[in-house]
């Protein structure tokens, strides 16, 4: 049966469905040599090219849904490649054959915290789509005098340049004076939305960390730059939350080692990657 081209490409690991729609609109996708337009569909035996490259498409039953939790540090870009050579979130992820990691949403360069990756483009698309109202929770440090009226406005809704926005929950979580921490929750992922909401009240965000995406909390034991893959039970809990059928396969090995041993392994891997990056920077400066 035919399917929309962006869905086929997303499932095959080329990128998110939203990104595929952008490529189609830009005239960079073709089917059997004919430039595709948004809304076109493709059959399983047709040849799809993206920017001239033939894509090895996959049937839905051939995709093994895998999910990573990654602790993004500040200073990393949410892009596969940066022309200026800056670090990206994809640099540290494990390599996989026959598929690729798709980021579930984005965090800007100055934001740290939980970032999810999956091999299943349909799961990524549904988790990002506003209709599923997946909650995102952030710990945010705000610089400025906070008034109760201001917090009320942020919960009721304020008008930003791209429409009305609000926090569904705001909770004070520490700090005093003009540097206070809050935990805030919203259910959409517009660009820099948390920062823009606070800035609409004349406040400055000095730290921003995503601590939860949906039902997944950022593990306290996961160091910055570290990742961990979800077991099948947790993957299927995610799939169920966005009305997808359960996955039956997993690539996660049963690790009987104590949690402390696993955390040590993750930290060593992060340190090894940092040492490699520092070495590459020194070589680049010496040229």
Q: Which residue has the higher pLDDT, 16 or 64?
A: 64
Q: Which fold has domain 67-129+217-286?
A: Pseudouridine synthase (3.30.2350)
| 187-220 confidence digits (pLDDT tens) | 888 889 999 999 999 999 999 999 999 999 999 9
pLDDT at 11 over 70: yes
Which CATH class name applies to 3-62? alpha beta
Classify strands 204-213 and 112-118 as parallel, antiparallel or unpaired. Answer: parallel
CA dihedral 254, 255, 259, 264 (to 10 degrees): -140
Specify whether the CB–CB gap between 78 and 101 falls below 8 A. Answer: no
Share of the chain above pLDDT 70, in %: 88
Which is catalytic among the residues 108, 162, 245, 255? 108
DSSP code at position 152: H
Task: Write b or e for each residue in 74-87: b if 16 or more Cβ atoms lie within 10 A of its Cβ, otherwise e.
Answer: eebbbeeeeeeeeb
Q: Which helix (H) or strand (E) holds 26?
A: none
For residues 210 and 216, give the distance between their C-alpha atoms in angstroms, rounded to a whole number: 11
Domains 67-129+217-286 and 135-213 share a fold: yes
- Domain residue extents for the chain: 3-62, 67-129+217-286, 135-213
| 130-189 confidence digits (pLDDT tens) | 889 899 999 999 998 899 999 999 999 999 998 999 999 999 998 777 889 999 999 888
Residue 178 Cα distances to 30, 170, 207, 223, 282, angstroms: 55, 17, 13, 29, 40
Specify whether the CB–CB gap between 50 and 23 falls below 8 A. Answer: yes
- Rg of the chain taking only CA atoms, in angstroms: 21
Which CATH class name applies to 135-213? alpha beta
pTM of the model: 0.78
Q: Is 201 exposed, middle or buried (0-12, 13-18, 19+ CB in 10 A)?
A: middle
Beta bridge partners of 67: 118
Q: If you average pLDDT over every residue of the chain, what do you get?
A: 88
108 catalytically annotated: yes
pLDDT for the residue numbered 1? 67
For residue 141, how many C-alpha atoms fall within 13 Å in the half-sphere facing its CB?
A: 12
Q: Of 152, 137, 125, 141, which is closest to residue 238 (Cα–Cα)?
A: 125
Specify whether the CB–CB gap between 213 and 128 falls below 8 A. Answer: no
């Amino acid at each position: 049966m035919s399917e929309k081209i962006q869905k086929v490409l997303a499932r095959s690991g080329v990128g998110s469905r939203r990104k595929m729609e952008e490529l189609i609109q830009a005239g960079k996708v073709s089917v059997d040599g004919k430039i595709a337009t948004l809304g076109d569909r493709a059959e399983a035996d047709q040849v799809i090219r993206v920017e001239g490259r033939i894509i090895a498409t996959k049937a839905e039953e051939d995709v093994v849904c895998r999910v990573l939790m990654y602790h993004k540090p500040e200073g990393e870009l949410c892009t596969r490649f940066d022309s200026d050579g800056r670090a990206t979130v994809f640099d540290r992820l494990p390599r996989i054959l026959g598929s690729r990691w798709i980021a579930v949403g984005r965090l800007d360069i100055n934001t740290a915290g939980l970032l999810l990756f999956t091999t299943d483009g349909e799961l990524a698309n549904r988790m990002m789509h506003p209709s599923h109202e997946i909650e995102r929770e952030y710990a945010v440090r705000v610089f400025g005098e906070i008034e109760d009226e201001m917090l009320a406005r942020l919960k009721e809704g304020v008008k930003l340049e791209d429409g009305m926005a609000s926090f569904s929950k705001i909770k004070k979580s520490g700090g005093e004076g003009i540097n206070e921490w809050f935990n805030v929750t919203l259910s959409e992922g517009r660009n820099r939305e948390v920062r823009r909401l606070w800035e609409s009240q004349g406040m400055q965000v000095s730290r921003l960390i995503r601590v939860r995406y949906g039902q997944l909390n950022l593990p306290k034991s996961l160091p910055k730059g570290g990742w961990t893959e979800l077991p099948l039970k947790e993957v299927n809990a995610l799939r169920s939350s966005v009305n997808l059928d359960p996955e039956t396969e997993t690539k996660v090995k049963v690790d009987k080692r104590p949690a402390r041993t696993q955390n040590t392994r993750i930290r060593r891997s992060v340190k090894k990657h940092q040492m490699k990056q520092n070495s590459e920077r020194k070589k680049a400066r010496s040229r």
